[in-house]
Structure 1
Amino acid sequence: MSSRKETVLDLAKFIDKGVQVKLTGGRQVTGALKGYDQLLNLVLDEAIEFLRDPDDPLKTTDQTRYLGLIICRGTAVMLVSPTDGTDEIANPFVQPDGA
């Protein structure tokens, strides 16, 4: 048995491709994955942060902030997903007004 720790995720296929990263505390960024390590520290280039709604910190708004080259600490990473092939859809569980 190897004593070397390996990550559960195979992020090699996402190198130089767009990824969306959700971090603890509610921050959400997208950018091109340039590198990572076994602790899930991520290097993102051309990173953009989606700003949160001041009235409801659990919701993100359409406002963004350009960050450039960033490092996301592995202990703060909650989710990594590709940006290609994902689209936002309307919530099918929301009841229409007047129902």
Structure 2
Amino acid sequence: MDLTKHLDKKIKVKFFGGREVIGVLKGQDPLLNLVLDETIEIVKNLEDDEVTHAQESFRELGLLVCRGPNIVLISPLDGSEEIENPFV
């Protein structure tokens, strides 16, 4: 996967286990390990297995190395918006 067009741009990364981070992509390798800078973790407080935006908080992490095998989703932040789930 070639992410060079997203270098120095903000991306959102989701991991196995539910963790999510937003950061500026600084590099990648062939195993899809990522280096993110200015990284913020989205901490979700679970209540009865439901998450609302009011329950989200943020934690600054700074420079972060993400292991490729743990990544579930990579999404650019520019031009995207979250929509309500139509199946709930």
Q: TM-score range, shorter-chain basis?
A: 0.7 to 0.9
Q: Please, what is the CA RMSD of the aligned residues?
A: 1.8
Structure 1 gaps, min length 5: 1-8, 95-99
Once residues 51 and 34 of structure 2 are traced to their aligned partners in structure 1, the CA distance between those partners, rounded to angstroms, is 24
In the superposition, the TM-score normalised over structure 2's length comes to: 0.86
How far apart are 1:31 and its partner, in Å?
Answer: 0.3
User: In the comparison of the two structures, how many residue pairs are matched?
Assistant: 86
In the superposition, the TM-score normalised over structure 1's length comes to: 0.77
Percent identical among aligned pairs is 53
How far apart are 1:54 and its partner, in Å?
Answer: 3.5
Structure 2 gaps, min length 5: none
Q: Displaced runs of 4+ in structure 1, greater than 3 A?
A: 56-61, 91-94
The structure whose RCO (Cα within 8 Å, separation 6+) is larger is 2
Larger Rg: 1
